[in-house]
Structure 1
Amino acid sequence: MIQTWLQPLAHGITLSCRAAGERGRPVLLFLHGFPEAAFVWDELLLHFARPENGGYRCVAPNLRGFERSSTPADVAAYRPKHLVQDIAALIALEGGTLDCLVAHDWGGAVAWNLANQLPHLARRLAIINSPHPGTFLRELRDNPRQQEASAYMNFLIRPDAEQLLAQDDYRRLWAFFTGWGDAGWLTEPVKAQYRQVWNGPAGSPPGSGLVGGCNYYRTSPLRPPRPGDPAAAGVTLPPSMLSVPLPTLVLWGMEDTALPPGLVEGLEDYVPQLTLERVPGASHWIVHERPGFVADRLAAFLASPA
């Protein structure tokens, strides 16, 4: 059974959360990406909460700006330091140390930062198709293929991005999911869950639920350079901001059209305790496409020495 609640944090932000499993058990925390929400993890929450699969306490918050979580109006409120603060505060309420932090897409961006800045909050890190900031900066700056693949980011920072995304029943967003292949997982019930998140609060214009997610892109300089906007070309990240000391599993769907495989090259330079698995035939949406596979690989990682 999935439990849902609104969790106030000490610094004034509230996160809407989903969970399965008993409090007091070892905790797995799952972070979603864009344009998703916490519900995408439901199958894994239920799986790992079962006694035969570890009996974990499994928690998936909606990140700041998503679903019913707080959505500050100030774009600067979506900078990484604030997102890390949210998750660190939630971890404190869930016992103080995670057995594993599991993350995808933008959730992975938060997780990479947390693992670098506050590694004592988790024993392990599992990343699913979310680029490490060091390799992402390199590829955005130097690789035309990545610059082309990430061109959509410069669309998402437009002031009218939410309204454009909402047009024709979210036509552009459905194309995010179906651009690589059939996306048979995208059933009408799943679409209804997404629409409920994207629509925002009752009575608000369609697309209101996308404001927070678009603000993640608006506040980040890790975008392709363009005339008058150096973006990633103007960024320098010191080594101290890039090292990850935790045992880390990275699963990478090799058919990801937005995040090509070059992003995992050189990853071991930043993550000494790295387990990397390239997954042929899977796209950016591998959590939807192959949840059983993700569960199997995560279970094996959890069973390994930390």
Structure 2
Amino acid sequence: MNTYLQALPHGTTLSCRSAGEPGRPVLLFLHGFPEAAFIWDGLLTHFARPENGGFRCVAPNLRGYEHSSSPTEVSAYRAKHLVQDITALIQIETRDSPTPGQVAGLIAHDWGGAVAWNLAALQPALLHKLVIVNSPHPGAFCQALAHDPAQQAASAYMNFLATPEAPALLAHNDFERLWPFFTGMGHGGTHLAWLDEAMRERFRAVWRQGLHGPCAYYAASPLRPPTAENPGAAAVQLPRNMLEVNVPTLVVWGMDDTALPPSLLDGLDGYVADLRIERVPGATHWIVHEQPERVAQLLTPFLRGAAPV
């Protein structure tokens, strides 16, 4: 696995991981909270192999994570800045590819998915295909946060993460308030076999770089449950041009996700013209860790042009 720092023209630097030869079609992978680019290593290696497409695979750490730029201002984590980072990275990483300025596929989970949905709606020419893993479409999520009591309860943690105190509280006592984001979003047991001590240490290494950036995503976003002090999503009206996606899209959803339930898939075809949905029973929000072979199995034919089996 290659690691490097990529400077972007607007001053941000993203720490990246990559596999595969430069000059090949590019797949770009975006992680979510509270993870980092390394979670994609297995898929980077998989898709770099000739039999799986021989792609050039790149996974950046989003701004605020690991060794990427971590601005102190919460406003620096608004969606427009996150999209700007990935737009610039696409231009750089694809300049020697067969399709300069366009990735063959954008694969994203959780907060990475939020960025990817926005990018696909606003700049569809930058990607040939889109893959979303357990990350709600902003239109559906906004409506659920504003009006669905069950989703409001499931997402209550977002309001905690948006507070100024959250980074210090999360870091306390070996990150005791962070581990439940993994252990509490499913049904335990075999779901957690992947979270061994070696994996925990990889997460610790990322979190020790600082948690202000990861938490600032929540503080900067209005898409969170309403409270007495803040109307949150109830005050948000998203324009239609930020919601319609006109690139072929595969959505993979772990059906046991307790924070983002499968009901968020309802009506998704009203936003996405060319849509495939793969519902995976027995998987949680952390499906990439729990069922990596199944994720690879679903993504491979889609990214190579065929329909998922």
User: TM > 0.5 between the two?
Assistant: yes
Aligned residue for 1:172, secondary structure, equals: coil
On the 8 A contact 2:53/2:304 being kept in 1, the answer is no
Q: What corresponds to 2:203 in structure 1?
A: 194
Q: CA deviation at 1:148?
A: 0.2
Aligned runs of 1:19-38 on 2, under 5 Å?
A: 19-38=18-37
Identity %: 63
Q: Which of 103, 106, 122 is 1:98 aligned to?
A: 103
- CA distance in 2 between counterparts of 1:242 and 1:235 reads 13
| DSSP 3-state at the match of 1:30 | strand
- Alpha-carbon distance in 1 for matches of 2:241, 2:45: 37
Trace 1:61-76 onto structure 2 (pairs within 5 A).
61-76=60-75
SS of the residue corresponding to residue 141 of structure 2 reads: helix
1:277 is matched with 278
Which whole-Å deviations, capped at 9, do the CAs of 1:246-284 have from their partners, x for residues lacking one?
A: 000000111111101111100000001000111111000
- Residue 203 of structure 1 is matched in structure 2 by none
Query: Secondary structure at 2:251's aligned position in 1?
Result: strand
Q: Residue in 2 aligned with 1:44?
A: 43
Is 1:261 aligned to residue 266 of structure 2? no
Paired residues in the alignment total 297
Distance, in Å, in 2 between the alignment partners of 1:51 and 1:240 is 37
Q: Which secondary structure state, in structure 1, belongs to the residue aligned with residue 179 of structure 2?
A: helix
User: How far apart are the structure 1 equivalents of 2:298 and 2:234?
Assistant: 36
Displacement of 1:118 after TM fit? 0.8
**d(CA) in 1 for partners of 2:278, 2:46:** 21
1:303 maps to which residue? 304
Choose from 185, 188, 194 the match for 1:185.
Answer: 194
- Residue 303 of structure 1, CA deviation: 2.6
Partner SS state of residue 194, structure 1: helix
1:305 positional shift: 5.8
How does 1:70-219 map onto structure 2 within 5 Å? 70-95=69-94, 96-179=101-184, 180=186, 181-182=188-189, 183-200=192-209, 209-219=210-220
Tell me the amino acid that sits aligned with residue 62 of structure 2: L
**Is residue 242 of structure 1 aligned with residue 255 of structure 2?**
no
1:287 alignment partner AA: V
What is the RMSD computed on CA atoms of the aligned residues? 1.0
The residue type paired with residue 104 of structure 1 is H
Structure 2: state its 5+ residue gaps: 95-100
How far off is 1:304 after superposition? 2.5
For 1:295 and 1:274, how far apart are their aligned partners in 2? 18
Q: Is the 8 A contact 1:48 1:54 kept in 2?
A: yes
Q: Which residue of structure 2 aligns with residue 204 of structure 1?
A: none
How many Å separate the matches in 2 of 1:134 and 1:81? 17
Query: TM-score, with normalisation over the residues of structure 2?
Result: 0.95
Counterpart-to-counterpart distance in 1, 2:73 and 2:222:
17
Query: Partner of 1:6: helix, strand, or coil?
Result: strand
Question: Counterparts of 1:252 and 1:229 in 2: how far apart (Å)?
Answer: 30
Distance 2:164 2:82 in 1: 22
* Aligned match of 2:12: 13
Q: Read off the aligned partner of 1:288 and give its amino acid letter.
A: H
Cα distance in 2 for partners of 1:93, 1:303 equals: 23
Q: Is the Cα contact below 8 Å between 1:139 and 1:262 reproduced in 2?
A: no
Runs of 4+ deviating beyond 2 Å: 303-306
Q: Does the aligned pair in 1 maintain the 2:224–2:233 contact within 8 Å? A: yes
In the superposition, the TM-score normalised over structure 1's length comes to: 0.95
Q: Which residue identity lines up with residue 286 of structure 1 in the other structure?
A: I
Shift of 1:139: 0.6
Shift of 1:40: 0.2
